[in-house]
């Protein structure tokens, strides 16, 4: 693209120099070297050709005058081409062709007066027709063809751009409709059932006389209300296409203890182990590490509620490693909650987007382990 622009930008210079060089050659070589007058007129023709892309009328006027005076043909030929590329109305075309006809007629009169070779080139019928076709007709028609080709290409580009814009608009509309449908489904199904869970937990908290049961019901209600708040934010994203930055602050490692306390309150034995010197790692890395622990503890709740669980957070050189290990459930999977397995798959994609890796699977000594290594430089 830059090369083509450079070539296009250098064309006026090349054209101006070419018109000057050809015009500086005298019509009648028998006179010896070119005269200063011819050099000046050739320089004027070259300068006019240089600026012909901006305005070609000065070149056309000089071409007509110089052709009649000195049989200097390059300016008239170049002007005819530019006239073909720019003139659109019949009136403009008629004026230009009429002007060139006048110039050619004047050249015939001057050739008759001077005689000799000048008369043979500019005043005989066959040569007049040949010069008219070579200097005006063919360049003018080539200019018309060039303009028509440019118009066709411009129309094709405009049509392609319009089709692309329409395609993008249709895709955006389809995405908006799909987001709205998903939002409706989530509101009608998930939000309704979470609301019922919160209401039942609140009723249990009020009616029970057992203090541990009341605390558990209060915790369930709080978790349910937090889930409803997060769900409302997600529904807002789906409906209004707002940016994720407009959501409430997302959890980081500073919120990890609160997450572990919620699991402990549900009867899970969880211990946290920090290795290395804790330091700020950036919201993206810390949020991903938090989600790793959250998903791993969710799986413990589903499949191994009585298993002892250890959460290791290792601040390594250039890497944050998060490891969640449990020692296995004495009850097996008899009372395990159903799961589709998409949680770990989505978590692996989240970690790999940051250039890290995630491994999950049974341990040789029993139990299950989830390990994620997240590069700290990913937040730079």
> ∠ at Cα 61 (56, 66), nearest 5°?
120
Q: From the CA atom positions of the chain, what is the Rg in Å?
A: 42
What would the mean pLDDT of 246-259 be, rounded to a whole number? 77
d(CA 206, CA 86): 87
d(CA 302, CA 311): 17
Average pLDDT over the chain reads: 81
Question: Each residue of 184-211: pLDDT tens digit?
Answer: 777 767 776 777 788 888 888 888 888 8
Please check the confidence at residue 245 and state whether its pLDDT lies above 60: no
241: left (phi over 0), alpha (psi -120 to 50) or beta: left
Question: Each residue of 40-61: pLDDT tens digit?
Answer: 888 888 888 888 888 888 888 8
Question: Each residue of 278-336: pLDDT tens digit?
Answer: 888 888 898 899 989 988 888 887 777 677 899 999 998 889 999 999 876 655 544 44
| pLDDT band for position 66 (cuts 50, 70, 90) | confident
| pLDDT band for position 339 (cuts 50, 70, 90) | very low
Phi and psi at residue 312, to the nearest 5°: -110, 130
The confidence score (pLDDT) of residue 252 equals 85
* Residue, of 338 and 262, whose pLDDT is higher: 262
Please check the confidence at residue 112 and state whether its pLDDT lies above 90: no
d(CA 101, CA 96): 9
Contacts of 52 (CB under 8 A, 6+ apart): 12, 15, 59, 78, 79, 82
The confidence score (pLDDT) of residue 160 equals 92
Crossing angle of helices 90-114/125-132, nearest 10°?
Answer: 140
Question: Each residue of 348-374: pLDDT tens digit?
Answer: 888 888 889 999 888 887 788 899 999
The confidence score (pLDDT) of residue 311 equals 93
* Residue, of 209 and 242, whose pLDDT is higher: 209
8-state DSSP, 314: E
The confidence score (pLDDT) of residue 334 equals 44
268: left (phi over 0), alpha (psi -120 to 50) or beta: beta
The confidence score (pLDDT) of residue 246 equals 47
Considering 15-29, 112-126, 156-170, 201-215, the range whose residues carry the highest mean pLDDT is: 156-170
Please check the confidence at residue 341 and state whether its pLDDT lies above 70: no
């Amino acid at each position: 693209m830059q090369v083509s622009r450079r070539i296009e930008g250098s064309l006026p210079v090349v054209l101006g120099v070419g018109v000057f060089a050809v015009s500086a050659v005298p019509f009648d070589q028998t006179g010896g070297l070119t005269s200063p007058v011819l050099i000046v007129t050739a320089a004027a023709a070259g300068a006019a050709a240089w600026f012909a892309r901006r305005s070609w009328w000065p070149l056309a006027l000089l071409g007509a005058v110089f052709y009649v005076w000195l049989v200097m043909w390059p300016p008239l030929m170049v002007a005819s081409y530019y006239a073909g590329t720019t003139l659109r109305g019949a009136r403009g075309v008629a004026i230009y062709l009429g002007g060139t006809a006048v110039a050619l007629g004047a050249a015939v009169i001057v050739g008759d007066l001077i005689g000799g070779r000048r008369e043979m080139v500019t005043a005989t019928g066959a040569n007049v027709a040949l010069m008219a076709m070579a200097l005006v007709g063919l360049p003018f028609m080539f200019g018309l063809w060039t303009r028509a080709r440019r118009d066709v290409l411009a129309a094709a580009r405009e049509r392609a751009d319009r089709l692309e814009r329409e395609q993008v608009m249709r895709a955006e509309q389809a995405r908006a409709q799909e987001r709205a449908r998903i939002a409706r489904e989530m509101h009608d199904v998930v939000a309704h059932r979470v609301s019922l869970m919160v209401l039942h937990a609140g009723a249990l908290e009020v009616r029970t006389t057992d203090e541990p049961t009341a605390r558990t019901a209060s915790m369930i209600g709080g978790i349910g209300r937090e889930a409803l708040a997060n769900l409302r934010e997600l529904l807002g994203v789906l409906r209004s296409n707002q940016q994720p930055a407009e959501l409430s602050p997302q959890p980081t490692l500073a919120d990890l203890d609160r997450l572990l306390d919620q699991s402990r309150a549900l009867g899970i034995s969880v211990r946290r182990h920090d290795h290395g010197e804790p330091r700020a790692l950036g919201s993206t890395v810390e949020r991903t590490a938090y989600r790793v622990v959250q998903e791993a503890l969710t799986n413990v709740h589903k499949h191994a509620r009585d298993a002892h669980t250890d959460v290791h957070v290792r601040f390594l050189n250039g890497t944050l490693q998060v490891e969640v290990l449990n020692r296995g459930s004495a009850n097996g999977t008899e009372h395990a909650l159903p799961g589709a397995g998409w949680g770990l798959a989505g978590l692996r994609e989240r970690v790999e987007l940051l250039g890290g890796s995630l491994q999950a699977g049974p341990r040789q000594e029993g139990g299950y382990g989830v390990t994620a290594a997240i590069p700290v430089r990913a937040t730079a």
